[in-house]
Every structure is written in structure tokens, then in C-alpha cells.
Structure 1
């Protein structure tokens, strides 16, 4: 176990699904690819809480007309959101945009600018342990971070939430257009499979970085539209408040069903070869995206069916 799953939502969803009765390979695959976040229901409960529902509506009503309309739309859609972060979902895009904007509206005035050590620490800490962003959304009504230091007046939680709701719609209109039917979570939230060279490039000299960048399309794959986020069983975490680029996914999936003749199936997220010219460099990506598991046979009679008949025999020198 790593510290990357500090939040309880993945466990909560797993417990919910596991508690529905007996499971087989099909239901286990569905669990591994599940993109429902329990955090959406918690957010909805916060919006509808007796001490929040009225003040939030009042804060929205106090916004300028253009922002007021956007905030009302965002709130209505988030209250109706089922929590499924599918890549093609418009409401999932709005949900992600709201989490992004609320993080920035709550903390950036105190901890910014974006390149400051304090802001970077907030974002990085949420990646591996305590999420102040989530903690403030679900509670912390008396936190000093609710006040916007850039204004003369004193703000409270409903005021910042109202601004964040409006800003979420503005973000989607800017990035994805005014047509709501064109909004999709996967257009914001994407993943790239990058080579080791690309990952090391920022630490290289300028000339080396330039050469790596020049062959980036040869070395790397993507972007691919992604569903889910850090809180879903099918995890695809991103830096909350910074961007929507996926930085963490399940690199390998394995299922063992001892009721089957060959019990083990699995897949990895890229390919078996480290050579970009090889057909096996990235042939695992589509399988990973589409849950196309492969059998890992143990019985001698099944080996050729999966691995073929060609063998590479390695013998020690001098033998």
C-alpha cells in the first residue's frame, strides 16, 4: 500500500460493490474499471445541508447577472450528478472543473502565486496524503482560507463556493465551448504514456531537452481521453487545482479466479518492449483502456496458444 490513497472514497466504493454478493471474473473487471466517485454524493450533501443550502443560494443571488446564471446552472447540474466520471460525461466535466476552481478560489490568494513553494506544497500534499481541498469543501466553515485576501470585504464559505460554481462554467466555456453537448470530462482530463527519456528531459541540459522534444511523438503516446479521478477505483489522478493531466494510473491489473481452468488474467498499461520501433512498445494501451485482459496460462498445453511456438533460449557463456 502507498500513501497515494489517503482519501477514503476508493475503499468506500470497493466496500459498496463487494457487499453486493458473490463475485466472479466479470464483476471483478467491472470493479477495476469502476469510475463512480463517492465524493460527489458527499459534495451534494454539503450543498444541501440545512446550514448551507440557503446561504449558498443567497450568495449566488448576490453575484453579477452573468456569473449568477452560471452558478445556478452549475449547482443544479452538480445536485443531479450521479458521480460517474465517464470520459464522455458533461456533468463529470463540470464536477472536475468545480473541484479545480474551488481549490484555486479557496487557497490561491493566500498561498499563491502558482509557482510559490506554498502552493506547490498544497497541491503535492493532496497527491499523497491529506487533501486540504477536499477537507474544506466538506467542512471547515470557520477556516480563514474562505476569506479572499484580494478584496476589501470579508468572504465566507458560501460566497467562495458561489464564485467557484460560476468559474467552473466559465472554464468549460473557455476550454470546450459554449455548447453544453460538447462538454466531456475526457476532453479536459487526459493521459499520455511518456518514455523515460521524456520524463528525464526537464533535468537535462537545454540542447539535450531540445533533441528529446524533437522526437517526442516517436517516444510518447497520447493524449488519451480519461475517465475517473484520484477517488475512483479506476484511478486516474491529476494535480487538483493545477491542471487535469493524469499523473497516476494502475500500471497493472491482475485477476485470479480459481474456478477457471486457467485462473489468472491481467494486463499492463503500455507494452512489453522498451523499443519505440517495436510493435509491442505500446500495443497494451488500447487493451488497458478497453479492459481487454490476457490469459496468463500455467498449464503446459495452453502455453503455445498464448505465447506462440517461438522460443528464445538464453545460455550462459562457456556452457
Structure 2
């Protein structure tokens, strides 16, 4: 575990946790104030069955957190029945959480036990590793967030693009090649690196489902490719399909957490304004941590957003100031000393 580091940024509005291996972010955990605790991964609740899909295709379960209701894929249940369930996958794409049946329940729909906190997820990912906090954690969160949201990553002449559609995740590996090297060996090495980069990127984005990877080259021996894919993606919950004659590799990854872009911005951008406000307050907190000799650090915001952001700044201490500016455009912010 010596190559693992964890970072915890518990600030106003949201909490972030990042796991780094060899200095690179590999996992992101995130919790936003206002999210329903009953919908978080690992949460246990009493729920009531509200509807059944035809042919035993599953049931919708009210957890007491409002719609969209949770979905129970298996189990002989009836409408109105009260159950004890746990969240096996958080909401995504406008759908409620996926549920696992634990047994019979009693009473009204309610949360029995919350899922792990961000700090607890970090401890599970890296047991015994104390998380770094403060300015260093804020900086790592910024880097991990930017890395996760970027659609393309480049390294060693390799370009890896990932895109999520309604049906699947498409990964395209593009390699310029290296003059003077054996073409076959160069492609094999580039595919190994590309698979590793793709796996890291999907983990940071917190995406799951069917993944189709367009590898470099077409005529390839399946075993080396599948071996590299297993090394990159692991085998826990991952199902590997065949390598096609067109150089396409298919695999299926389990969903667990809400995709990061949905957690931050919502399905239709409905959370984008609040996300930008929280990010601005994170910059203010970084200034307070990194410029300790400054008597005050001031966050300058549009006049129209002062009331919305006052609660985020209120608990940061006497050195933190929030100032409205009439001429400032909406959702633009600045940091000043003094």
C-alpha cells in the first residue's frame, strides 16, 4: 500500500475523496449536500413495492426519498409489499437506484442505515492510509476532477477518447506509431497502455455498462489482448467478451456510483450553477489555507448570487469574506487578498 495516497476534501456543499496510485488519481468519491441518503451505494432502507414489470421483470420500490423509485430486478414480490433492501448501484440517467433484496420489512418507507461516507470509502480503498487534507487535498481534487471530465487523454504518442451513449461506452485508441520500431510490437505495447489509460479514465468518470474498445490494428492474437484487458480492468464484476476480427474488444463493467458528470451538473445542467459556486468557495478555502499571512481572503461574486453563496462561506472563519459586485457576470467569480 506504500504507493497509495488518499486525499479528503470535506468542504461546504460537498465532500470529495481521491485515491492516488503512483501520484495519479485512480478513484473518486463524491457526496453533495441535498442528495438523498437512501439512494447512496450501500444504504439500507425499508421500501414499499409500488409497481411490477410484466413477466416478472422486476419491481419499483419507494424508499421514502421520492421519485425516481428504486428498482429491484429479482425477487417474487407483490404491489404494496414492504421490503428491506440495499442500494447496489446509485441513480443514473434519470433512473432510480438499483436494489438488492435483504428480506421482509415493516413500517413506512425509511432509511435504516446510510451507506459509507466519503472518508469510509477512502478507508476501504486504502486501509490504514491516513488521508491528506487542507490545501494539498484541494489541489488533488481539482486535478482529479479535470482529468475525469476531460474526454481525451494523451500519453506516449497515444490518444485515448471515451464517449458515453445511451447504449454503450465507446473507447477509441489512436496511435501515431514510432519510426524505427517493429510495427507489431509497437501496436501491442500501445494497446496495453491504451487499455490501462481507458480503465483509469472510466474509473474516474464512474461509468459502467457495456464498453466497446476500438484497438489499434485489426489482425491481433486474442490472448495477449484479453490478458492486457484483465490486467487493466481487473476481474471483479467485469465480464470480457470476444475480440472481433475488426479489432473491437467488448466488456461489461458494473455500475456502482452515479456518473461524476451527473453528480456535478445533473442530467440537463440543473446543478451546474451550484457546482460552480461550490468550486468558487473551494478556491476561497484554498486561499485561506495557502496564504495564511493574509488578513482576509475575499471571494467576489455577482450581486445576484450573494444570498445563494452566503451559507457556503459562513463557516470558514473571520478571514473569509464574501463581496457582491453589480457589474460581474453571473457565475463568474474572483479571489482577492484583503
Structure 1 length as normaliser, TM-score? 0.22
Richer in strand (by share) = 2
Structure 2 length as normaliser, TM-score? 0.21
